[in-house]
Amino acid sequence: MNELIENYLNYLILEKGLASNTIESYSKDIIEYINFLEKNNITDIKLTDSVIILSWLINLQKNGLSSKSRARHLITIRGFYKFLIQENLINSNPVKDINIPKTGLQLPNVISLQEIKVLLKTPDITKPMGIRDSAMLEILYGAGLRVSELVNMKVQDINLEACFVKIFGKGSKERIIPIGSYARQKVKQWLGSGRSLMLKNYPSYYLFVARKGKPMTRQGFWKALKKYAVKSGIQKKITPHTIRHCFATHLLEGGADLRSVQTMLGHSDISTTQIYTHISSEYLINMHKKYHPRG
């Protein structure tokens, strides 16, 4: 890590010709970031991703830094990662999707825990469609899934006894994610009554179905989510990915460790095999129960 910092600062001096006070400012920001990584037992820059950047930004905010100061820190780190890509030391930039507006730093769009609670209670569970939507929202928030992963789930992919779901994410990589008691209860209700009423004797392998046994689509779920957001009085723009951001943010704010959150999100930066050599499924389940608001 120290060698990377030194090489980057030399690059700024020799190639960019930056002033000494600017170099000193960059140096302090990067060292502070590297110290944060090391405190979280991350000693390889290749193992960093957007979850770590998010956690770092939350940490800066907790330490009292203004949005303007956090934006400056992020600009520094963004330049650092661009240098690492240029030198072929990493393959992707975890900072590139985080916007920095003129007014300061904009974190990924999330809604509060209280707003999430209201949203999850919105579907009408006296109707089969409402039972389905309630279960889908709980699984989306409870497991931090991508919307494509949610709608492609098969009945066999969920284990209600052991409280986990099996997901095939990007690149067909498999991961096991714990689910909490709320999600378990809602899915159990869906499988026990709502699903058969929606199917009307049409066969389907999919866990969540629409009319005549057709699987739910991403567009169909997104449309339902927008409807529930309006009904629950939430003013912010909400997408399925917003709920995924909430999953990660609420876990990190609650004190969950980065490695567990990375594993549950299934980020491509980190090999599934490498992660599971350090974290057992039982540990992930305990982390989820302890730190997720609906565990």
Catalytic amino acids? Answer: 146, 170, 241, 244, 267, 276
* Of 195, 34, 62, 222, the residue nearest 140 (C-alpha): 222
Question: Is the separation of the CB atoms in 290 and 180 below 8 Å?
Answer: no
- Counting Cα atoms < 13 Å in the Cβ hemisphere of 124 gives 6
> Residue 176: beta bridge partners?
166
Q: Quote the Cα angle for 201-206-211, to 5°.
A: 50
Please give the Cα distance from 40 to 63 (Å, whole number): 17
Q: Enumerate residues 6+ apart whose C-beta is below 8 A from 274.
A: none
Q: Enumerate residues 6+ apart whose C-beta is below 8 A from 33.
A: 56, 73, 76, 77, 80
Sheet holding 164-168, edge to edge: 158-159, 164-168, 174-178
